[in-house]
A = this chain, B = another copy of it.
Amino acid sequence: MAKKAAHTAPDNGSDISTEYSISQLSQEFDVTTRSIRHYEDIGLLSPNRRGQTRIYSQADRTRLRLILRGKRLGLSLEDSREIIDMYEPGKTNIDQLKKLIDAIQLQRHKLNQQLDDISKLLKDLNQAEADCIDALKTNGSQ
C-alpha cells in the first residue's frame, strides 16, 4: 500500500536498493545519456534492465562517479577501467592481486606527478595574477 511506482521514487532516500533512470543520472552528473550508454557499450557499466529500460543501482551510480572523476583527471576510459576494476570484489586470485598492487603503485606515481604539476601550475598562476595586478597599478594611471 505504501508502495508508489518504483520507477518514480521508492518511499525513502537512503534505501540500499535505490534505483536511478538514465536521465536522472544524466542530470545529476551533467553528462549526456549518450555518454552513459557509451560507457555501457565499452563495458564500463552494466545496469540491470526492466524490460528494455536500464535501471541503475547505487553501485552503477558509484561507477559512473568514478568514471567522471577519472575524466576530470584526464584519464582515458581505459585508465578508468583499470582503476575501477580495483574496487570489484572477487579479486581473490593471488596473481591478480599482485598485478593489482603493481597497478596501484603505477597510478599513485602518475597521481603524484600530477600533484607536482598542479602545484607548479598554481604557483605560475599566482605569479601571473600578481604580474597582472601589478601591471594594472603601474599602467592603469597612464
Contacts and interface: CB of A to CB of B under 8 A. Distances in A.
What bracket does the count of chain A residues touching chain B fall in? 35 or more
* Chain A contact surface mostly: helix
Contacts of A124: 83, 86-87
A117 B70 CA distance: 8
Contacts of A97: 132, 135-136
A121 B86 CA distance: 12
24 contacts: A69-B117, A69-B120, A72-B74, A73-B74, A73-B114, A73-B121, A83-B121, A83-B124, A86-B128, A92-B135, A92-B139, A97-B132, A97-B135, A100-B128, A100-B132, A101-B132, A104-B125, A104-B129, A104-B132, A107-B125, A111-B118, A111-B121, A111-B125, A114-B114
